[in-house]
Structure 1
Amino acid sequence: MKEENRDQGPPALATRHLCIVEFEVGSGIIGIGASPFGDQRLGYISGGRFFGPRINGIVLPGGGNWSRSGRLGDSASVGTFDARAVWQTDDGDLIYLSYTGRNIIPDDVRATFVDPAVPDADASRYYLRIAPVFETASKTYDWLNGVLAVGVGERTEFGVRHVIHEVL
């Protein structure tokens, strides 16, 4: 490493808005139960939509999110995601999406998630982040094959909404 480069810090992480995706979880969450590896649940994707400056379309039914959760201290749960979905663009191309992620949800916020009659907690009160990658055979959207993205999520009355940014 050159001497003059040693004093420079690492480059800042830059992102660009990619899209917003709204996953519908029509049949709710299936609780598989607590095993020695954590509390396992499945959220079946029943549909949805995505929209952004360069990509728009629908989320096809059939994907899902296999989540696992545990405890983080005395007052919050922590979770991880293993999600997969297929998107269909407005012009008919298919895009496979997979992501991992993390959430941290304080116990008082989690209590509001359990009761459908209680309005959703403000998303600033919990942490929900994802790291999606994409795969497609589309010539129009082949640029997605080289994209690593990050997303900020929030629970909604229909499932979950993620604001996704492409890491540049």
Structure 2
Amino acid sequence: MLTENPTAVPATLATRHLCTAEFEVGGGIIGIGASPFGDQRLGYISGGRFFGPRINGIILPGGGNWSRSGRLGDEASVGTFDARAVWQTGDGDLIYLSYTGRSIIPDDVRATFSDPAVPDADPSRYYLRIAPVFETASAKYGWLNGILAVGVGERTDFGVRHVIHEVM
């Protein structure tokens, strides 16, 4: 049996900025409803853009986020993501992106999300994190096939913005 060495220093986790992705969610969120497995919703990706030091382009329409939510205690909801999208780089290469993730949204913040007259809540008031992976046939962007990334998200008036970092 393996035991932990109490004097060992754990490895650090380093990241570097990969890009910022702005997903447009046209038509809003489609509420599928609460089943015994949670409240299922779908957000259709109608477009968007991504930009960073090594990769830039547009987010093609047709992807989506199938999210499921439940309760985390008495004052917040918790959610999971199952999202897929296709990105097209500025030079025409295609990148398939899929991600999972978690959200924790206090009830008072969620109430502001459903009222278009109320400005978006400060992102520091809720938790929205993703773990994207990439797949491409592009020789130029093939390095994406070997990385894991993490992102911090925020709700916007057009959908969602994720600041994505490559895990080194």
TM-score, normalising length: structure 2: 0.96
In structure 2, the partner of 1:95 is: 95
1:32-47 counterparts in 2 under 5 A?
Answer: 32-47=32-47
The aligned counterpart of 1:71 is: 71
**Secondary structure, aligned partner of 1:65:** strand
Percent identical pairs in the alignment equals: 87
Map residues 1-168 of structure 1 onto 2, 5 A cutoff: 7-168=7-168
Deviation by residue 1:112-147 (Cα, 9 ceiling, x = unmatched): 000111100000000000000000000000000001
Q: For 1:32-87, what per-residue CA distance to the aligned partner results, in whole angstroms no more than 9, with x for missing partners?
A: 00000000000000000000000000000000000000000000000000000000
What are the ranges of 5 or more consecutive residues in structure 2 without an aligned counterpart?
none
**Aligned residue type for 1:15:** T
Q: Give 1:77's aligned amino acid.
A: S
Runs of 4+ in 1 over 2 A off after TM superposition: 5-8
Shift of 1:154: 0.1
CA RMSD of aligned residues (A): 0.9
Alignment partner of 1:166: what SS?
Answer: strand
The TM-score with structure 1 as length reference comes to 0.96
Distance in 2 separating the partners of 1:147 and 1:118:
38
Distance 1:22 1:12 in 2: 29
